[in-house]
Structure 1
Amino acid sequence: MDHAPALVVCLTTVSDEKQAEALARTLLQERVAACVQVDAPIRSFYCWDGKDCVDRELRLVIKTTRERATALQQTILRCHPYDQPQVVILDCSGADPGYAHWVGENTTED
């Protein structure tokens, strides 16, 4: 097997399952993500407009290649329902080469 692509994981949150599913499907259809996992409800504590907030959210864990990370971020910012969504991209090391190739194959632009 040739050199595996470098992977990144992106984290974002949404407020409900409908938003999570819509965003996940868009990311897959636009081939900026190979896999999107939706975590069970979490509680987010944060400050917004000078107010302390606590909200129930769902976290999306999104896998793509480093090469497609910018396109992923742009797609999230374009499609996300929040005014200022969380978009945190983390470099991965030690990904299984077979999995990395699968991610690369599923995020290649047409």
Structure 2
Amino acid sequence: MDTGALIVYMTAADADEAARIGRLLVQRRLAACVNVLGSVRSIYSWQGTVHDEGETAFIAKTWADRLDELILAVRQAHSYDVPCIVALPLAGGSAPFLDWIREQTRPDTTA
């Protein structure tokens, strides 16, 4: 079952960048909530070199119809050329919580 709700996993250079992007997403109603998870160790290949660096992981709770705009906002605000932004569908969950995500990510029509 697809609820329409998504968890979007992202990484940032540090906690300050993750928090800055998180606030932006919530203020623009692109995410109902963003959790800054903390430090992660990322090992990846970039431009032919293997890197082993610290980053900060963060996740956003959003709705499928807001994903494209969320990705655009993150890409514009992010320090990386190619930031990690991957969306995972939520198969289920607490109905009141899923309703809250939907309500918080509806575009604001009063502005």
What TM-score do you get using the length of structure 1 for normalisation? 0.91
Alignment-mate amino acid for residue 85 of structure 1? P
Equivalents in 2 of 1:95, 1:69: separation in Å? Answer: 19
Moved over 6 A (4+): none
Q: State the partner residue of 2:59.
A: 61
- Deviation (angstroms), 1:36: 0.5
Gaps of 5+ in 1: none
Write the distance in 2 (CA, Å) between the matches of 1:86 and 1:18. Answer: 16
Aligned length: 106
Q: Hey, what's the Cα distance between the residues in 2 that align with 1:29 and 1:40?
A: 21
How many Å apart are 1:80 and its aligned residue? Answer: 1.1
TM-score (norm 2): 0.91
The aligned counterpart of 1:23 is 21
1:75 to 2:73 alignment: yes
Q: Once the two structures are superposed, what CA deviation does each residue of 1:60-82 show, in whole Å capped at 9, x if it has no partner?
A: 11100112111111111111111
Contact 1:32 1:69 in 2 (8 A): yes
Q: Structure 2: which 5+ runs fail to align?
A: none
